[in-house]
Amino acid sequence: MPDLLDDLPVDDREPLAEGAWLLRGFAREQAPALLAGIDEAVSAAPFRHLLTPGGRSMSVAMSNCGARGWVSDRRGYRYEACDPVSGVPWPPMPTALRAVAREAAQAAGYPGFEPDACLINQYLPGARMALHQDRDETDFAAPIVSVSLGLPAIFLFGGLARADKPQRRRLVHADVVVWGGASRLVFHGVAPLARGEHPLTGPQRLNLTFRKTR
Ligand code: MD3
Ligand code: FE
């Protein structure tokens, strides 16, 4: 039986860690449709700066689409069916977004991925994300798929302990990373965004993370 990974040219997939693959340029053709889907979602659920449980405003602005959305406030981190700003359900996950997540998961060896949440991160120059684990989901068997759009960023990923020295990778427009298996709970973050101008997104980076939350 052919390996699912054989569907991509070998140069376009880099192993990052056990179970984690960087699919270079995987979303290039779909990028305009993904950006249209993001516009549609954020017109209903605008980007906002969430508060950490400690009361600090995050530098990354966030929104969500799909059946559930990730939120943070004084009470902690969790997934919610409704946008706390509007009180109504998060906008549906656009078909193009769900499709690219499923295709990337399949290409990395995780067929049948069914994301129920898509966190939309907006980075303007200076925005960063401190090292953290994604552990607010109940099902760590499913991978997380991340799609980078617009300006490049330095992505940091360490190991299963916070103290593990992180590796640095530059992620550019249309790169997709799939984190599963032994890498599902690695510590990761993003260095402060450098200013720039991208033809499709202007002065910003957008990142989509697709999760199966339960
Ligand atoms: C490794 N976002 O939203 S995507 C996040 O670029 C988040 O906005 C970053 O970390 C961003 O939680 C990084 C890459 C990523 C996403 C999820 C992961 C790496 C991951 C989950 C487990 C391990
Ligand atoms: Fe994360």
30 token code pair: 């779909």
Which one of 128, 135, 146, 193 would you pick to mutate in the ligand 1 pocket, going by the greatest count of ligand atoms within 8 A of its CB? 146
Paired strand residues for 157: 167, 188
pLDDT of residue 8: 66
**What pLDDT digit, counting tens, does each position of 107-133 carry?**
999 999 999 999 999 999 999 999 999
Question: Is 18 among the domain residues?
Answer: yes
| Domain with 161 in it | 14-211
pTM: 0.95
Question: Is 8 among the domain residues?
Answer: no
- Hey, whose CA ends up nearest to atom 17 of ligand 1? 144
**CATH code, domain carrying 137:** 2.60.120.590
Distance 1 CA to ligand 1 centre (A): 32
Question: Is 52 among the domain residues?
Answer: yes
**What pLDDT digit, counting tens, does each position of 149-207 carry?**
999 999 999 999 999 999 999 999 999 999 999 999 999 999 999 999 999 999 999 99
What value does the mean pLDDT take over residues 62-87? 98
pLDDT of residue 12: 86
Pocket flag, ligand 1, residue 176 (CB < 6 Å): no
Pocket flag, ligand 1, residue 149 (CB < 6 Å): no
Distance 186 CA to ligand 2 centre (A): 9
Question: Is 192 among the domain residues?
Answer: yes
pLDDT band at residue 212, thresholds of 50, 70 and 90?
A: very high
Question: Is 9 among the domain residues?
Answer: no
Percentage of the chain beyond pLDDT 90 is 93
Question: Is 55 among the domain residues?
Answer: yes
pLDDT of residue 165: 96
Pocket flag, ligand 1, residue 188 (CB < 6 Å): yes
The overall average pLDDT reported for the chain is 96
Q: Are strands 20-23 and 13-17 parallel, antiparallel or unpaired?
A: antiparallel
Question: Is 156 among the domain residues?
Answer: yes
Q: What three-state secondary structure class fits 131?
A: strand
Question: Is 5 among the domain residues?
Answer: no
Pocket flag, ligand 1, residue 184 (CB < 6 Å): yes
In angstroms, the CA 211 to CA 143 distance is 7
Ligand nearest to the CA of 70: 1
Instruction: Decide if pLDDT at 94 tops 80.
Output: yes
In angstroms, the CA 214 to CA 212 distance is 6
Instruction: Decide if pLDDT at 5 tops 70.
Output: no
Those residues with Cβ within 8 angstroms of residue 56's Cβ, 6 or more apart along the chain or in another chain: none
Atom number in ligand 1 closest to CA 121: 8
* Domains contained in the chain, number: 1
pLDDT of residue 2: 52
Pocket flag, ligand 1, residue 212 (CB < 6 Å): no
Contact assessment for residue 114 and residue 212, using Cβ atoms and an 8 Å cutoff: yes
For every residue of 52-117, DSSP letters joined together read PTTSPBPSSEEEEESSBEEEEETTEEEEESB-TTTSSBPPPPPHHHHHHHHHHHHHTT-TT----E
